[in-house]
Every structure is written in structure tokens, then in C-alpha cells.
């Protein structure tokens, strides 16, 4: 599709904005009909995520930098969740101020703030005018071993979380009340940090990210694997982050376990791991896999509430 | 990003809609955090295209089927233009009627109408609500030889077009006047047909698709290769399609060469080919490559008019 007025100028600007010195086997980058990559091996993971103004973000709350960073985080999390290493991004952005250099630059810098951290190259893009901003990012990752899918959980596996979820929901609760602090809580919602689940990737029988909410995503693993996942309130409370989160919830009159179990938009990872590979290096041990038919239990009682929904 | 109300149900529906029996090395398809593909070799071409309501299409003119088909066509054309064979698509769609099964089905069927023709698999997707419809598609293709980039045109090359452009612009001119026939002309704009440039791919020194308009895209090759491209009015008029197009232009009081040179949105291919490989099987011979510095000439006179612009 044709781009904006000076397509050549824009492509050059995007090429500059996304120029890095990472090798990554990019033989042809931005500027031709398509990019050419020579991956290290022939197995790739591919995933696409979209964020739309008023549905996934509000311009009053989020800067273009944060919008770009957050979607990149969501996208790379999906690649890691498959046990792969993200390498390439293709970005399609629709923005109101298409001729506003600053918005394009801020979006690009937000995307790069996350991509650079993981040495990921932006190899393609498209830009269009639109009444509402929307952003769609495709991530490609290299898979050196077997993909870690949702259907690999085994009865007897331990359930680990890379970190305690809920802080993003806390940030959203604060913003919804018209407040903007504590800053680290609001930031957890507007620009969540991504940490690669390096240790979990080495040993997980099944894995997913929990951006749709812990119960919802644990349910996906339980269903795909034909098992039950039993979470323990006591184990979740053992997290170093629990106390702060519980205090925030209490101050705002909310249920901290609503945030933890169904909050969503925390880009952490849930994995099931054989019991003989148990280790504190894997994150928080929060439960175990039991024989069953796709149910998620908390302390033995089924949780049916769906994850956080945008509408 | 979380999807709509019943994410599980939706993913299952998309998985059904995009289910094919093509092999293509898809190890994990729609339904996990990401798709896993095992390509036949390690070189891939990747490209992304976006279409936004009111900018690239109007809902009064285009059905969801046509919108899906047209963007897929644009996308696959970019892969072919690099000399690669398209294999995989990832689709992000934002639509108003997100719970309207029919719109999602029609969009998916439109995408498949083109993808199936080229045995391309849809391996990932995201769907969101939005006030205006927008669609973004990433295509991945396999490259068995060297990529055909824009910088390979050599002085003395012949310039070929896979077909005469202009019919899409004619269709747009008709729709803009509130008319809707001749049908084949309107269809050329709303649901352009894609023919793989199989013969050109085998011999081209440089190639691009001409969706931004012949002069604009020929200019990209001229600049990237550091040559001039000399087009010939007489040669363009030799096309079998010229007479009909000229008659349409005359009926509508438009300049047929405006359509041919700057119309845009025809997903045909421009390639430069060594003179010793000249053949009628390559399409229309329309000019030659001369020494120069990035200029496109028509009968020896520089054409500076930019290609078709959406805004």
C-alpha cells in the first residue's frame, strides 16, 4: 500500500530510526519490497500482536514511546513463551499525526527501547494515516530446540511463575481513578518490563505468557495438556512482591487476588517443570499439575472467572 | 494483547477458517503463543502491509472479502518482487463488528481466496475491536536463490512490465463518479488479480512491484541502481490492453497516461533484464536502462510527477 506524501523520505527516516549494528543475518533491511533474513537455523517462531487506541491504550495515559514499548514487550513475550529467541520485528503503524515527525520518532524509540535490549532488529514496516492510532507488530524468533507448547504439561509437574502478576492491574486501577502514582505501579501498566525466562526455557515441559491473566492462561495449558493446574494461595503469598501488592489493593479497596489471578497484561511466564528439576532459580513455585480435565484450582477449588477482558 | 470476549472460541474459529491441508512445514499453527515453521531453507523474505478504512478503502465500495483479498494481493506481490515464493501470512485485523461472525468470516475468506491460490498458510493472527476497520498482514516467503533487489539494474538492461498498469486507477475514477461499471474495471480496483512473475523472477537483474505507480517505482529502481530508466510511449501503447484503457480514459475525460504512469495499486511487476535474455514470455517490453543518476524518462523527457498518493 502506498505510504504518505514523501514515501522515499519516510522510508529513509524509518531506516535511520531502526538502524542498529546487530548482525542477525539481515541481508536486506528496510527500503526494498521486503526484507531478507538468513536465520541461523531453519526453525522460526512467528507471532503477531495488535494494539488499538481506546481498546488497548489511551493517549491521555500513554506516550507514543510507551505504546511502542508495551506492544513490543507483549510481542517478544510470545516468542519467549514458545522457547525461542526473538530476532526480527515488522511494524505496521496507523497514526493521526502521520506527518508529525516526533510521534513517529517516539513510537520507533519505544519499540527500540525493548528490541535493543534483546538485540532484535526491525526489518520492515508500514505507516498509514488513521483517525485513531493503532499498531501491529509481527515478531520472528529462532528456535534452536523443540518449541515449548501449551500441551506439554505432565501430571506431577511443578508450576512456576517467572514473577508475581498483578502490578499491571494495580497500575490500571490507579489510572482509572484519575491518579498517577506510585510511579512504579503506573509504569508497570504503561511500560511493563520484560525479562527473558532463560532458566524456565531450559527445563519447561509447557509454557505460556500470562498476559491474558494467570487463570485464563493457566487454563489454556490445562486444557491443551488435559490436566488440572492447582495453584496455592500460600505459595503465591510467599513472593517478595506480595506484601506491597496486598497493601496497594487494600488502599484502593480491591481484592489483591483479583489482580493476581485475573489482572492480565503482566508479561511474565507460567511454566510447568518436572519435579526433579525444581530450583529456586526458576522463579516462584506456585502450584502443581494434577490429573484432570483442564481445570484451574486455587487451593483445590476450581476458579472459573475469565481473565481480564478489554471489552 | 487480550482478544475479545471469548478468546478461546475465537481462536478456534480462526483456526478453522484458516485450516488448509498445505504442508509448508507448519509445526505449530494458530492457537499457541506463536506459530512454529520449519522452512525448506534458511533464507526468508518478510514484508508487512497495512490497509486502513477511509485511507486505503471505503466500506461503501469494498466488501470485507475484497478488503482481505486486496491486502493479501499487495502483500504477496511484495514477496514475489523480491524473487521469493510466499509461504506464510500473519494477520492482524481491527474491526467494528468484532462479534459479527460474518465480517470475520468474509475477511478470512477474502484472505484465503488469494493465499490458497499460491498455497500460502495463515499461521497467526490477532483480532481487535476498533471504530474503523484496519488490517495489517505480514507475509513470509522462501528465497531459494539470491534476492532480486532494486539496486541491480544495469546500463543496457531492457525494462519489462508483467502487465500494463492503469486499470486500477480507471476503476477508482469510475467509483469516484458514483458509478459501478464496467464491472471488470471496478473489480481491477477493488479486488485486483495477482499473477506470479515466474518468468521475470528467473532472469531479472532488478525488480519491484508497481503498486505505488509506475513512475514512482521505476524511480526507486533508477535511484537504487544509479541509472536512468527510459520508458517508451510507443512500446506502452503496444500492449493488448492499451486500446480499452485509452477508450475508458477518453470516455471519462482523463489522460490515459496519467493512469498508466502514476495510477498505482496495480500489483504488476517492473523488472530490468539483460538484453541477451529478451523474450516475449517476460511480458511487455517498455523501455531500457541508460546511464544516468536516478531519473525516469518517457521518450527521453524526465517525468517528475510522483505516484498516486492516498493523502
Rg (CA), chain B: 20
Q: Closest CB to A136: pick one of B4, B5, B136.
A: B136
Rounded to an integer, what is the distance from CA A118 to the centroid of its chain?
Answer: 14
Q: Are residues B82 and B175 in the same domain?
A: no
Give the domain CATH number at A269. Answer: 3.90.650.10
Q: Are residues A230 and A158 in the same domain?
A: yes
* pLDDT above 60 (res B16): yes
- Is residue A1 included in any domain, yes or no? no
Angstrom distance (rounded) from CA B207 to CA B162: 11
- Is residue A311 included in any domain, yes or no? no
- Is residue A309 included in any domain, yes or no? no
Q: Nine-digit cell at B29?
A: 499453527
Q: Are residues A129 and A167 in the same domain?
A: no
Pick the last residue of a domain from A142, A172, A197. Answer: A142
Chain B residues with CB inside 8 Å of A209's CB?
Answer: 33
Closest Cα to residue B262, out of B170, B163, B162, B160?
A: B170
Q: Are residues B186 and B279 in the same domain?
A: yes
Q: Are residues B157 and B205 in the same domain?
A: yes
A163: left (phi over 0), alpha (psi -120 to 50) or beta: beta
Q: Would you state the pLDDT for residue B261?
A: 95
Q: Which of A82-86, B95-99, B210-214 has the lowest mean pLDDT?
A: B95-99
- Is residue B1 included in any domain, yes or no? no
- Is residue A308 included in any domain, yes or no? no
* Res. B164 pLDDT band, cuts 50 70 90: very high
Mind listing the pLDDT tens digit for each residue in B47-56? Answer: 999 999 999 9
- Is residue B94 included in any domain, yes or no? yes
> If you ran DSSP here, which 8-state letter would residue A215 be given?
H
Q: Are residues A281 and A254 in the same domain?
A: yes
* Res. A57 pLDDT band, cuts 50 70 90: very high
Q: Would you state the pLDDT for residue A54?
A: 92
Q: Would you state the pLDDT for residue A24?
A: 75
The values of phi and psi at residue A38, to 5°, are -115, 95
Antiparallel, parallel or unpaired: β A26-28 and A35-38: antiparallel
Closest Cα to residue A283, out of A166, A159, A150?
A: A159
Q: Would you state the pLDDT for residue A221?
A: 96
Mind listing the pLDDT tens digit for each residue in A172-203? Answer: 999 999 999 999 999 999 999 999 999 999 99
Chain B residues with CB inside 8 Å of A45's CB?
Answer: 34-37
Angstrom distance (rounded) from CA A118 to CA A138: 15
- Total number of domains constituting chain B: 2
Pick the last residue of a domain from B89, B119, B142. Answer: B142
Q: Are residues B288 and B159 in the same domain?
A: yes
Angstrom distance (rounded) from CA A102 to CA A113: 16
* pLDDT above 50 (res A304): yes
* pLDDT above 70 (res B159): yes
Q: Closest CB to A126: pick one of B49, B209, B220.
A: B49
* pLDDT above 90 (res B19): no
The contacts of residue B92 (CB under 8 Å, 6+ apart) are: A48, A49, A50, A92, A136, A138, B125, B126, B127, B128, B135, B136, B137
CB contact under 8 A, A7 and B50: no
CB contact under 8 A, A33 and B216: no
Pick the last residue of a domain from B121, B142, B163. Answer: B142
Q: Would you state the pLDDT for residue A307?
A: 41
Give the best residue of B15, B32, B49 to mutate against chain A (max A CB count within 10 A): B32
CB contact under 8 A, A33 and B81: yes
Closest Cα in chain B, distance from residue A186 (Å): 18
Q: Is A78 annotated as a binding residue?
A: yes
Mind listing the pLDDT tens digit for each residue in A117-172? Answer: 999 999 998 888 898 999 999 999 998 888 999 999 999 999 999 999 999 999 99
> By the 8 A CB rule, do A1 and B75 touch?
no
Q: Which residue of B has its CA nearest to A75?
A: B1
* Res. B141 pLDDT band, cuts 50 70 90: very high
Angstrom distance (rounded) from CA B165 to CA B218: 13
CB contact under 8 A, A212 and B2: yes
Give the domain CATH number at A98. Answer: 3.30.1330.10
> By the 8 A CB rule, do A124 and B48 touch?
yes
Structural domain boundaries enclosing A233: 150-302
Mind listing the pLDDT tens digit for each residue in B32-67? Answer: 888 888 876 668 999 999 999 999 999 999 999 999
Q: Would you state the pLDDT for residue B281?
A: 96
Average pLDDT in the A255-284 region? Answer: 96
Q: Which residue of B has its CA nearest to A43?
A: B38
Q: Are residues B133 and B50 in the same domain?
A: yes
- Is residue B59 included in any domain, yes or no? yes
Chain A residues with CB inside 8 Å of B126's CB?
Answer: 48-50, 136
Closest Cα in chain A, distance from residue B270 (Å): 12
Give ipTM to 2 decimals: 0.90
Give the residues across from A92 on adjacent strands: A126, A136
Q: Are residues B182 and B286 in the same domain?
A: yes
Q: Is the peptide bond before B103 cis (omega within 30 degrees of 0)?
A: no
* pLDDT above 90 (res B76): yes
Average pLDDT in the B130-149 region? Answer: 92
Task: Please give the mean pLDDT across all residues of chain B.
Answer: 90
Amino acid at each position: 500500500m502506498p505510504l504518505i506524501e514523501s514515501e522515499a523520505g519516510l522510508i529513509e527516516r524509518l531506516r535511520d530510526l531502526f538502524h542498529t549494528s546487530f548482525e542477525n543475518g539481515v541481508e536486506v533491511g528496510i527500503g526494498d519490497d521486503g526484507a531478507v533474513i538468513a536465520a541461523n537455523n531453519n526453525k522460526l517462531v512467528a507471532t503477531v500482536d495488535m494494539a488499538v487506541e481506546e481498546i488497548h491504550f489511551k493517549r491521555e495515559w500513554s506516550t507514543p514511546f510507551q505504546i511502542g514499548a508495551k506492544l513490543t514487550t507483549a510481542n517478544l513475550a510470545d516468542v519467549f513463551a514458545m522457547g525461542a529467541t526473538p530476532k526480527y520485528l515488522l511494524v505496521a503503524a496507523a497514526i493521526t499525526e502521520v506527518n508529525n515527525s516526533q510521534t513517529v520518532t517516539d513510537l520507533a524509540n519505544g519499540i527500540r527501547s525493548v528490541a535493543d535490549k534483546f538485540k532484535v532488529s526491525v526489518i520492515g514496516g508500514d505507516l498509514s494515516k488513521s483517525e485513531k492510532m493503532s499498531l501491529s507488530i509481527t515478531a520472528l524468533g529462532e528456535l534452536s530446540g523443540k518449541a515449548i507448547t501449551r500441551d506439554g504439561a505432565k501430571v506431577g509437574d511443578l508450576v512456576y511463575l517467572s514473577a508475581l502478576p498483578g502490578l499491571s492491574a494495580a497500575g490500571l486501577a490507579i489510572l482509572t481513578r484519575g491518579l498517577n502514582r506510585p510511579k512504579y505501579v503506573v509504569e508497570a501498566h504503561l511500560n511493563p518490563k520484560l525479562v527473558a525466562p532463560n532458566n524456565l526455557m531450559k527445563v519447561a515441559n509447557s509454557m505460556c505468557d500470562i498476559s491474558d491473566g494467570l487463570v485464563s492462561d493457566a487454563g489454556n495449558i490445562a486444557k491443551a495438556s488435559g490436566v488440572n493446574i492447582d495453584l496455592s494461595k500460600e505459595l503465591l503469598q510467599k513472593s517478595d512482591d506480595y506484601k506491597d501488592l496486598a497493601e496497594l489493593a487494600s488502599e484502593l479497596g480491591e481484592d489483591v487476588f483479583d489482580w493476581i489471578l485475573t489482572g492480565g497484561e503482566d508479561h511474565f511466564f507460567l511454566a510447568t517443570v518436572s519435579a526433579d528439576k525444581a530450583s529456586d532459580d526458576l522463579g516462584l513455585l506456585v502450584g502443581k499439575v494434577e490429573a484432570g480435565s483442564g481445570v484451574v484450582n486455587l487451593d483445590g477449588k476450581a476458579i472459573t472467572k475469565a481473565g481480564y477482558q478489554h471489552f
